Amino acid sequence: MHELLSAASADAYVDALRGTVDRVATRFRTTTQPFSGASREHLQVLVDAVDLDGPGCGTPAALREVDELFAQHAVWFHDPAYTAHLNCPVALPAVAAEAVLAAVNPSVDTYDQSTVGTLMERRLVAWTAGRVGFVAGGGVFTSGGTQSNLQALLVAREHALATRPGAVLADLVVLASASSHFSVQRSARLLGLAHDAVRLVPVDERGRMRPDALAIALRHVERDGRHPMAVVATAGTTDRGCVDPLAAVADVCDAADVWLHVDAAYGCGLLVSRTRRHLLDGVERARSVTVDFHKAFFQPVSSSALLVRHAADLRLVAHHHDYLNPAGEDEPNQVDVSLQTTRRFDALKLWATLRALGPDRLGEMVDATIDLTAAVHDVVDADPDLRLLSPTDLSTVLFRYQPSGLDDARADALVGRVRRVLFDSGRALVARTTLDGRPCLKLTLLNPATTVDDVRGVLDLVRQTAAALLEGEELLRQDEAVAR
């Protein structure tokens, strides 16, 4: 059975991986833009042309196909012109560790399936909890911030139902802000809360939750005969990259005895920053914290964790099964504290990265992205054609192409079209979002190797594209005038 990885196929394994690594390395050496620019129609034809019911073509041919079909048209987050979403370039030791994971294929649900892996995951959870400031903290790796937020709110729900006399599901209220991640709303639905369970606390001019408004919102919850289940603060909002005032929010939560969850999916890189850790001051007063290593620690997807201040909190929803993790058994079974059963040992990648680079170096890399972003803000601010729209604590740039004389409606209409034209060309990937009701362009800069000049190149493309679109509109208008 040479199809399966075993002692008998170890040589074939070496060949398969060597060939694969060589092809991927060639892609890295030769790729000059973040996306090939192939049209969706063309990609659909390529995908449909593959006969999945045909006879096997053998491992080398199948892997060549993977390279030509997938890698050739993949989106490359390491390319400096990739500035769209919260995707980071990945750390080398993590990529190598991922290969170990794929081959060994452990599952960290029970100790007897992962042994030392379980202990390594628990050690990393304790390390991260220590960085947060949780003295007796616990936690578990998850598939992403979405799952971390869901589990946090699940635990908060159980806690509220257990500790608030008379509270029932339909009464529970979650206080978040308009800048909170959408997974908060979705979690509330999944958790069976009322349709109006999530109330949005007003924010300041940078989109940060206002502690005074939170205090008022909590009083309103009480006035309405409802029960506060949790407050969700965000350390690094997805669009603006701003950190809610965590200590002041914690003060309000403590006064009302409400569960504080801090969503630090984006801002968790500050945990290793030697210059900006203070932005997270107060996070240690949360009951639960979401961290996304695949956003801020240069980890391949997936790598995320939920941390709790009291390790026992995660056991509020533990289940025991005779075949897997019988109650009373003295083995560290992570399935007890996870929403998943079979689960990847994603912690290995972070382990390898931390050991290879050390936390301080990781922190320098995080700082480099924030420094880069500050410099880009200056560039945009000084550009007469571009308008910088909002400051950031982290690494996003919200802006619009709007030279003087271009009215708001036309500037707004350009946003989506500029993004689309750039995407279709594959030369630069930028994101778009809405700020204060108006569309805008967004850069997310998570690559410490990117230079200000690299980003200037992206901004030049934005400017050229927008100008060309406007010129096209003008020609169209003239044509129409002539036709009339």
Ligand X SMILES: *Cc1c(COP(=O)(O)O)cnc(C)c1O
Q: Smallest gap, in angstroms, from Cβ of residue 329 to ligand X? A: 32
Residue 207 touches ligand X, criterion: CB under 6 A = no
Alpha carbons 306 and 314: distance in angstroms, whole number: 10
Beta bridge partners of 235: 243
Stretch that binds ligand X, among 160-168, 258-266, 332-340, 433-441 (CB under 6 A): 258-266
**Could you say which residues in the range 266-295 bind ligand X, by CB under 6 A?**
266, 292
Residue 181 touches ligand X, criterion: CB under 6 A = yes
DSSP line for 97-110: HHHHHHHH---TTS
DSSP code of residue 164 = S
CA separation (Å) from 317 to 151, 158, 236, 308? 10, 8, 28, 14
Contact 284, 133 (CB under 8 A): yes
Q: Which of 233, 265, 415, 431 binds ligand X (CB under 6 A)?
A: 265
Residue 344 touches ligand X, criterion: CB under 6 A = no
Q: Smallest gap, in angstroms, from Cβ of residue 238 to ligand X? A: 4
Using the minimum distance from each CB to ligand X, give the nearer residue, 373 or 465.
373
Residue 86 touches ligand X, criterion: CB under 6 A = yes
Using the minimum distance from each CB to ligand X, give the nearer residue, 402 or 444.
444
Q: Smallest gap, in angstroms, from Cβ of residue 408 to ligand X? A: 28
Alpha carbons 161 and 99: distance in angstroms, whole number: 43
Q: Smallest gap, in angstroms, from Cβ of residue 319 to ligand X? A: 23
Element (H, E) at 464: helix 452-483
Please list, in sequence order, all residues whose beta carbon lies within 8 angstroms of the beta carbon of residue 165, skipping any fewer than 6 positions away.
none
Judged by CB under 6 A, the number of residues near ligand X is: 15
Please list, in sequence order, all residues whose beta carbon lies within 8 angstroms of the beta carbon of residue 255, skipping any fewer than 6 positions away.
215
Residue 183 touches ligand X, criterion: CB under 6 A = yes
Residue 304 touches ligand X, criterion: CB under 6 A = yes
Pick from 206, 243, 204: nearest CA to 394: 243
Using the minimum distance from each CB to ligand X, give the nearer residue, 304 or 390.
304
**Could you say which residues in the range 111-150 bind ligand X, by CB under 6 A?**
144-146, 149
Residue 419 touches ligand X, criterion: CB under 6 A = no
| Count of CB atoms situated within 10 Å of the CB of 411 | 19
Q: Smallest gap, in angstroms, from Cβ of residue 27 to ligand X? A: 25
Using the minimum distance from each CB to ligand X, give the nearer residue, 306 or 441.
306
Using the minimum distance from each CB to ligand X, give the nearer residue, 181 or 309.
181
Encoding tokens for residue 155? 């635990």
Residue 393 touches ligand X, criterion: CB under 6 A = no
Tell me the backbone φ, ψ of residue 206, rounded to 5 degrees.
Answer: -105, 15
Pick from 393, 430, 358, 425: nearest CA to 83: 430
Using the minimum distance from each CB to ligand X, give the nearer residue, 110 or 234.
234
Strands 396-401 and 386-390: antiparallel
Greatest Cα pair distance, the chain, in angstroms, is: 85
Residue 349 touches ligand X, criterion: CB under 6 A = no
Stretch that binds ligand X, among 89-97, 263-271, 306-314, 399-407 (CB under 6 A): 263-271
Q: Which of 87, 234, 325, 392 binds ligand X (CB under 6 A)?
A: 234
Q: Which of 110, 113, 128, 238 binds ligand X (CB under 6 A)?
A: 238
Q: Smallest gap, in angstroms, from Cβ of residue 290 to ligand X? A: 6
Using the minimum distance from each CB to ligand X, give the nearer residue, 20 or 183.
183
Q: Smallest gap, in angstroms, from Cβ of residue 399 to ligand X? A: 19
Q: Smallest gap, in angstroms, from Cβ of residue 306 to ligand X? A: 11
Contact 218, 228 (CB under 8 A): yes
DSSP code of residue 50 = S
Contact 257, 284 (CB under 8 A): no
Shortest-Cβ-distance residue relative to ligand X: 145
Alpha carbons 126 and 232: distance in angstroms, whole number: 22
What angle, 0 to 180 degrees and rounded to 10, lies between the N-to-C axes of helices 211-223 and 246-256?
20
- Which positions lie near ligand X, rule CB under 6 A? 86, 144-146, 149, 181, 183, 234, 236, 238, 263, 265-266, 292, 304
